[in-house]
Amino acid sequence: MSQLAYRRVLLKLSGEALMGDEDYGIDPKVIGRLAQEVMEAREAGAEIALVIGGGNIFRGAGLAAGGMDRVTGDQMGMLATVINALAMQDALEKLGGKARVMSAIKINDVCEDYIRRRAIRHLEKGRLVIFAAGVGAPFFTTDSGAALRAVEIGADLLLKATKVDGVYDKDPKKHADAVRYDQLTYDEVIARDLQVMDTAAFALCRDSDLPLRIFDMSQPGVLLRILRGEKIGTLVQG
């Protein structure tokens, strides 16, 4: 019997998680450590898909605020997620993992196109799959890409790694008395107007009854502990 509480999961990392102490780009040490965490979970038997944001390089909304056409900015943001995905593929392969980047926009000289059945096949064969370019359309985020792909591949859980160790009733950086929730329903998140992920992504999780765990990945070993069933961070479900 498997010692894991979850068989197949999708892990969403923000682009900023790759920066470390820098304010732009990718810190090789940081991405190496994140890859190590993923490999540990993979070696324990989990099927793991990843989505990595692009905020460490470009965000469409930020570029548009500087005067750029929004759609062009979002396309640059999607390409940024491909860059991050390639870096993660490399980091995983350095550790002996088998990884495939699959992009929602066609860029198949550098990675595979996203094909759902092929993605599931990779996972069944023990490969790590990194979904790049979000949903492949402007005005979306990689949170939406993560929710969509998680539902498509039949993930048991969507894991969203953040800088904060869960969902709080108010901003814990500003309020010393902020309280962290261990568990919430989708309806409670909406009623309390809690910022868990963007609205489109959250609606997809709720409509598909996909459980979501928000947690801080800075502690070594935390991913595997969650997969073994430890209640770390905040769980949102129906």
Give, as one character, the DSSP assignment of residue 17: G
Per CB under 6 A, 166 contacts ligand UDP? no
- Radius of gyration (C-alpha) of the chain in whole angstroms: 17
Q: Does 138 bind ligand UDP (CB under 6 A)?
A: yes
Q: How far apart are CA 76 and CA 82, in angstroms?
A: 10
Please tell me whether residue 162 binds ligand UDP under the rule CB under 6 A: no
Per CB under 6 A, 14 contacts ligand UDP: yes
Residue 59 as a binder of ligand UDP (CB under 6 A): the answer is: yes
Question: What is the nearest approach in angstroms of ligand UDP to the Cβ of residue 196?
Answer: 14
Interface mask toward ligand UDP for 69-88; x: CB under 6 A: ----xx--xx-xx-------
Q: Which CB atom, from 78 or from 224, has the smaller least distance to ligand UDP? A: 78
User: Which residue reads 């965000």 in tokens?
Assistant: 59
Verify binding: residue 54, ligand UDP, rule CB under 6 A: yes
Give a three-class secondary structure readout of 54-116. CCCCCCHHHHHHCCCCHHHHHHHHHHHHHHHHHHHHHHHHHCCCCEEEEECCCCCCCCEECCH
Least gap, CB of 6 to ligand UDP (angstroms): 22
Tell me the longest C-alpha to C-alpha distance in the chain.
56
Residues in contact with ligand UDP by the rule CB under 6 A: 14-16, 53-55, 59-61, 73-74, 77-78, 80-81, 134-135, 137-138, 140-145
